[in-house]
């Protein structure tokens, strides 16, 4: 049972946590062992000396230590290096009794088991860093084995350049050991690599250790500088996690080292690991400035849901249009011109890199209105391939009487032609030069001549049902909102059945927030639910993980979640994914929106 570590914020697998010692430590943190004299006095102020090593069991069979609240005690251990045969690891794998104080167990990637401690230290880290595949597979295996609410400590490997990636992968604690060694070797560290002191003409850092001339800057100062830069990098990473933008930072930062770039791409290939831990909504901008952005969980998840859950409900031609810099698209000048020409005679779907395709009903839904990308007017081969594949899947699962492509010739047209060929779809192109010229808009209007119009109310109803499909699963729109009325305007629609309100459209995220009446409809429908079962209490404000007795369905941070117990029924928003909810012994699992007492 984890008692001395608690997670407060999440950004994918990265977390802001608290090591609950006498003097709490905010993670991800730079920690060091107590009793080790730092090379310079300044380093003692940079790293939290909160680790106490009870020692190795190789030379002697040590007793379990007494421990204390001010230190994270590393329990007696037999560390195994990388490459240790599996049978050897199993032979020496030990167990630890409940410590009753802040404790950490030493494990390897091959011998990771739950010891009931607050943290886990990896003994084979030297074999992971620098090896992209080993790092990714090793950390994912460990994270899948130890409880989600425990801290992971990687000793002896952290540098300013690799620290953001380690935290992105789920590491909570690192130490300054490797940065110190680099300094003693005369290697000057920065967030983008390292330099030999002999190669530097001037010092590029304004830290106190560098407040001297290059001639007076020796290895002792280099050690202090290295640790300062590592501590500053971790502070930057913590702020990025709080903003929900660590990935944006990481995509640029890894470019300075090929193995870091390779490791990031390896993590992207582990979709399940990252998707489980990535929120389904955020109120922050998603910055897509590299081709790696197309492999982000948020992008892949949106494309998957649009092509597997969403179905068009309009009996009208499909009109493909380009995206706009302004989000949501319908508020842009160009889309205003498109809509004036279309006049509710076609179903508008925007094409964009890196999102793929965005039906107009989902243009407010995260991440469709939250991303920004570098617009050059030119599409790379990878962008064309990705968007064409998404459009092909979309066309294959939606039956339109006609498909009209009102897109620029460059990039967009090639995407449409590829998708048309892949799905044997006939497309009508209406743009000779640029979509907003008078000739192009006239062509678009003329192409739709004679098509019947659908009403504004139909569009609003279809928007609610489309969001329900996207949010709850295929078919949820009809199952939950078949006979409804709507009030207000997009993106603040209120959904009613008679005088009873079922849901509200949340403009910040473009999703639905259910009322208790909506929650009961969800419970009574055949749509798979996401639910937490609780003990016999009526929650107020939030449901903590220890009060949860069962979890139903795949839950992601930000999901709508039913709350069901012998004394209460409610609806709220998930603050943990399903695995965390099941295994955590601390922290908020669900933020409660509405709850009623069950008699």
On whether both 324 and 267 belong to a single domain, the answer is no
Q: Among 43-47, 154-158, 233-237, which stretch is predicted with the lowest mean pLDDT?
A: 43-47
pLDDT of 85 reads 64
Whether pLDDT at 386 is above 70: yes
On whether both 563 and 524 belong to a single domain, the answer is yes
Band of pLDDT at residue 42, cut at 50, 70 and 90: low
Per-residue CA distances from 249 to 121, 243, 245 (Å): 26, 11, 7
pLDDT of 374 reads 77
pLDDT of 377 reads 72
Is residue 209 in some structural domain?
no
Q: How far apart are CA 372 and CA 327, in angstroms?
A: 9
Going by their DSSP bridges, the two strands 318-322 and 403-405 should be labelled as: parallel
Mean pLDDT, rounded, for 556-571: 97
pLDDT of 176 reads 94
Contacts of 402 (CB under 8 A, 6+ apart): 317, 318, 428
The CATH code of the domain that includes 47 is: 3.20.20.105
DSSP 209: G
Is residue 199 in some structural domain?
no
Band of pLDDT at residue 64, cut at 50, 70 and 90: confident
Is residue 221 in some structural domain?
no
Is residue 484 in some structural domain?
yes
Per-residue CA distances from 296 to 106, 246, 287, 358, 386 (Å): 32, 12, 11, 17, 13
Q: Which comes out higher in pLDDT, residue 100 or 498?
A: 498
pLDDT of 81 reads 63
Is residue 315 in some structural domain?
yes
DSSP 565: -
Whether pLDDT at 1 is above 70: no
Question: Exposed/middle/buried for 91, CB within 10 Å: 0-12, 13-18, 19+?
Answer: exposed
Q: Which of 242, 275, 308 is the last residue of a domain?
A: 275
The CATH code of the domain that includes 550 is: 3.10.400.20
pLDDT of 465 reads 98
Q: Among 196-205, 287-296, 409-418, 565-574, which stretch is predicted with the lowest mean pLDDT?
A: 287-296
Is residue 13 in some structural domain?
yes
∠ CA 68-70-71, nearest 5°, is 75
Q: How far apart are CA 38 and CA 58, in angstroms?
A: 26
Which helix or strand (DSSP H or E) is residue 340 part of? helix 333-342
Going by their DSSP bridges, the two strands 485-487 and 494-497 should be labelled as: antiparallel
Contacts of 68 (CB under 8 A, 6+ apart): 52, 101
Whether pLDDT at 35 is above 70: no
Whether pLDDT at 58 is above 80: no
Backbone angles phi, psi at 319, to 5 degrees: -115, 110
pLDDT of 36 reads 66
On whether both 355 and 387 belong to a single domain, the answer is yes
Q: Which of 211, 245, 275 is the last residue of a domain?
A: 275
On whether both 31 and 129 belong to a single domain, the answer is yes
Question: Exposed/middle/buried for 382, CB within 10 Å: 0-12, 13-18, 19+?
Answer: middle
The CATH code of the domain that includes 305 is: 3.40.50.10630
Q: Where are the alpha helices (DSSP H) in 158-245?
A: 163-169, 177-184, 219-243
Q: How far apart are CA 251 and CA 278, in angstroms?
A: 16
On whether both 149 and 293 belong to a single domain, the answer is no
On whether both 20 and 128 belong to a single domain, the answer is yes
On whether both 523 and 384 belong to a single domain, the answer is no
Mean pLDDT, rounded, for 207-213: 93
Q: How far apart are CA 256 and CA 165, in angstroms?
A: 12
Mean pLDDT, rounded, for 407-419: 95
pLDDT of 324 reads 94
> Can you list the positions of beta strands (E) in 389-508?
403-405, 427-429, 485-487, 494-497, 500-506
Structural domain harbouring 402? 286-447
Whether pLDDT at 48 is above 90: no
Q: Which of 447, 462, 496 is the last residue of a domain?
A: 447
pLDDT of 265 reads 94
Per-residue CA distances from 360 to 84, 271, 522 (Å): 55, 27, 25
Number of domains in the chain: 3
Backbone angles phi, psi at 244, to 5 degrees: 75, 30
DSSP 282-310: -SS-EEE-SGGGGGSHHHHHHHHHHHHT-
pLDDT of 313 reads 97
pLDDT of 492 reads 96
Band of pLDDT at residue 40, cut at 50, 70 and 90: low
On whether both 393 and 412 belong to a single domain, the answer is yes
Mean pLDDT, rounded, for 567-584: 95
In the block, which residue shows the tokens 């380093």? 43
On whether both 384 and 510 belong to a single domain, the answer is no
Is residue 59 in some structural domain?
yes
pTM check: above 0.85: yes
Band of pLDDT at residue 61, cut at 50, 70 and 90: confident
On whether both 440 and 525 belong to a single domain, the answer is no
On whether both 508 and 406 belong to a single domain, the answer is no
Whether pLDDT at 43 is above 80: no
Is residue 240 in some structural domain?
no
On whether both 385 and 507 belong to a single domain, the answer is no
């Amino acid at each position: 049972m984890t008692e001395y570590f608690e997670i407060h914020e999440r950004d994918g697998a990265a977390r802001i946590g608290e090591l609950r010692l006498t003097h709490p430590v905010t993670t991800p943190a730079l920690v060091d062992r107590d009793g080790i004299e730092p090379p310079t006095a300044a380093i003692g102020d940079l790293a939290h000396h909160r680790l106490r090593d009870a020692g190795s069991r190789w030379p002697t069979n040590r007793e379990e230590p007494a421990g204390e609240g001010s230190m994270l005690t590393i329990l007696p251990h037999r560390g195994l290096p990388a490459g240790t045969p599996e049978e050897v690891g199993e032979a020496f794998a030990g167990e630890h009794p409940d410590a009753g104080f802040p404790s950490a167990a030493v494990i390897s990637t091959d011998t990771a088991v739950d010891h009931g401690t607050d943290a886990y230290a990896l003994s084979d880290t030297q074999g992971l860093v620098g090896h992209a595949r080993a790092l990714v597979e090793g950390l994912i295996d460990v994270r899948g084995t130890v409880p989600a609410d425990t801290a992971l400590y990687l000793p002896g490997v952290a540098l300013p350049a690799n620290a953001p990636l380690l935290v992105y992968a789920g590491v909570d604690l690192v130490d300054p050991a490797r940065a110190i060694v680099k300094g003693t070797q005369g290697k000057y560290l920065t967030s983008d690599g390292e330099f030999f002191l002999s190669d530097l003409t001037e010092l590029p850092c304004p830290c106190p250790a560098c407040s001297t001339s290059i001639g007076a800057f020796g290895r002792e100062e280099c050690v202090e500088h290295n640790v300062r830069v590592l501590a500053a990098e971790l502070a930057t990473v913590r702020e990025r996690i709080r903003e929900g933008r660590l990935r944006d930072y990481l995509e640029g930062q890894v470019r300075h080292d090929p193995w870091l770039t390779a490791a990031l791409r390896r993590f992207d290939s582990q979709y399940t690991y990252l998707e489980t831990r990535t929120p389904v909504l955020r109120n922050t901008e998603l910055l897509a400035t590299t081709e790696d952005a197309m492999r982000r969980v948020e992008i892949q998840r949106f494309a998957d849901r649009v092509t597997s859950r969403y179905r068009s409900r309009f009996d009208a031609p499909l009109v493909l249009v380009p995206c706009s810099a302004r989000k949501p698209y319908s508020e842009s000048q160009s889309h205003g011109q498109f809509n004036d020409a279309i006049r509710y005679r076609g179903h508008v779907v925007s094409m964009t890199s890196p999102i793929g395709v965005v039906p107009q009903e989902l243009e407010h839904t995260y991440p469709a209105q939250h991303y920004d990308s570098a617009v050059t007017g030119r599409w790379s081969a990878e962008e064309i391939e990705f968007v064409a594949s998404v459009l092909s899947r979309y066309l294959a699962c939606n039956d339109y009487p006609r498909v009209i492509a009102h897109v620029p010739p460059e990039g967009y047209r090639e995407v449409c032609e590829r998708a048309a060929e892949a799905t044997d779809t006939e497309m009508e192109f209406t743009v000779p030069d640029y979509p907003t010229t008078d000739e192009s808009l006239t062509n678009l209007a003329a192409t739709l001549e004679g098509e019947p119009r659908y009403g504004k109310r139909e569009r609003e109803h279809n928007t609610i049902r489309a969001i329900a499909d996207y949010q709850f699963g295929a078919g949820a729109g009809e199952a939950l909102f078949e006979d409804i009325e709507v009030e207000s305007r997009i993106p603040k629609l209120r959904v009613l059945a008679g005088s009873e309100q079922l849901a509200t459209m949340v403009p910040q995220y473009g999703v639905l927030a259910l009322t208790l009446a909506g929650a009961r409809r969800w419970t009574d429908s055949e749509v798979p639910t996401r639910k937490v079962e609780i003990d016999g209490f009526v929650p107020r404000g939030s449901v903590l993980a220890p009060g949860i007795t069962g979890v139903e369905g795949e839950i992601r941070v930000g999901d709508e979640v039913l709350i069901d117990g012998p004394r209460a029924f409610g609806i709220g928003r998930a603050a943990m994914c399903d695995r965390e909810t099941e295994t955590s012994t601390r922290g908020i699992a669900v933020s409660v929106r509405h709850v009623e007492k069950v008699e």
